Amino acid sequence: MVSRAAAAIRTRPRREREQEVLVWPDLVFIEFISALIFSIALMVLSAMVNAPLLNRADPDTTPNPSKAPWYFLNLQELLLHMEPAWAGVIVPTIALVLLAAIPYWDRDTEGQGVWFGTKFAGRLTVFGFTAATLITSLLIIWDGSLHVVWTENIIRGLGLNSDFSWPGGLDWFRNLRGFDTGIPWESLGFTIGGFTMFEDWRAIPLGIPGTTTDPWLLNLNFPSFLSQQIIPVATMVGLPIAFVLFCKMLGWIQTRRDIALLIFSAFIGVYLTTTIVGTAFRGQGQDLKPPWDIVVLEE
């Protein structure tokens, strides 16, 4: 029984010597030059820009905003839109596991060793990246309630209604938490037979008292659960599926490699967008702000 990997190696055509070059000098030269360029570039950068050194660490003075190192700001950005356990741990863990699992799912050996090896690879990459970047930005704008501010400003600015404010009936659409605070959950109980269902949506009894000490398991706060867990998770699962279905409809997806290309490109888009927003567009209290309006206060 030959393993799939061994078979893959064996099926390679025999090396054609005339297609080969010597590592010394051809490759070693390139490596040397690229190392040299990077050394010089970093030396110049280091001579011009100093590494930051702020005041001595002081546990009693909290900078506002406090930020993680830039490469974790995508996670810190997620933190603003969902339950911390999802944003800080579960989502990155699942993302990394899925990332590592790509080659075990896309096992076809066709199309390796060339850039964008399938027929529609270019389109899938551009579409995945652009659409994901756009949708992520829109979601961030929506959860930052910027659409509320903009709508109010535009309607006031046009002189249509000088003291227009976002209608109360649309409070649920202010941001993600709107699904929690903007819906009159108190009046949403209903009766089936003789039973009154969910008199209190914020404390739906789940467990038998005494079997668990976890308040979350005892009484489910459904509105909060909906806005902090169901909707974010459904978005993160649903959008990739929608992407795949859409591209399938267009006929761009023929192999698993195509799906991998689409989702990976979308992932890169989300990764970049959340990193950039978290780094440059989050001011005090993690409010959405343009980079030039961001001041760090120490409190």
Partner 1 sequence: MANLERAPRKSFNDLIYDLIFKNYVWQSIFRTGYPNTPRNQMLAVATNVFLHLHPTRIHRTHVKITHTYCLGGLSFFMFLGLTVTGVLLMFYYVPSIERAYQDIQELEANVRFGQLLRNMHRWMAHAMIILVLLHMMRVFYTGAYKPPREFNWVVGVVLFILTLLLSFTGYLLPWDQLAFWAITVGTTMVGSAPVLGDESKFLLLGGFSVGPNALIRFYTLHVIGLPLVISIFMAVHFWRVRRDGGLARPL
Range 81-120, binding partner 1 (CB under 8 A): 84-85, 87-90, 96, 99-100, 102-104, 106-117
Least separation in angstroms between CB 114 and partner 1: 6
Measure CA of the first residue to CA of the last residue in the chain; give whole Å. 67
CB count in 10 Å sphere of residue 93 = 10
Number of residues that bind partner 1 (CB under 8 A): 87
Q: Is 213 in the site for partner 1 (CB under 8 A)?
A: no
Is 30 a binding residue for partner 1 by CB under 8 A? The answer is yes
Out of 42, 149, 158, 245, the residue judged to bind partner 1 by CB under 8 A: 42
Least Å from the CB of residue 70 to partner 1: 8
Supply φ then ψ for residue 231, to 5 degrees.
-65, -50
CA dihedral of residues 224, 228, 234, 235 (deg, nearest 10): 130
β-strands 297-298, 63-64: how paired?
Answer: antiparallel
d(CA 247, CA 67) in angstroms, rounded, equals 37
Which is nearer to partner 1, 57 or 192 (by Cβ)?
A: 57
Output the CA torsion 287→293→298→299 (10° steps).
-50
Among 1, 53, 160, 208, binds partner 1 (CB under 8 A): 53
Q: Is 212 in the site for partner 1 (CB under 8 A)?
A: no
Choices 32-40, 174-182, 187-195, 198-206 (CB under 8 A): range interacting with partner 1: 32-40
Judge contact between 239 and 233, C-beta under 8 A.
Answer: no
Distance between CA atoms of residues 288 and 276, nearest Å? 12
Q: How far is the CB of 184 from partner 1 (least distance, A)?
A: 30
Judged by CB under 8 A, the chain residues 9 through 28 that form the site for partner 1 are: 9, 11-13, 15, 17, 19-28
Nearer to partner 1 (CB atom), residue 151 or residue 224: 224
Measured CA to CA, the distance from residue 290 to residue 295 in angstroms comes to 11
- Footprint (CB under 8 A) of partner 1, residues 256-295: 257, 260-261, 264, 268
Q: Which two tokens stand for residue 38?
A: 């990077």
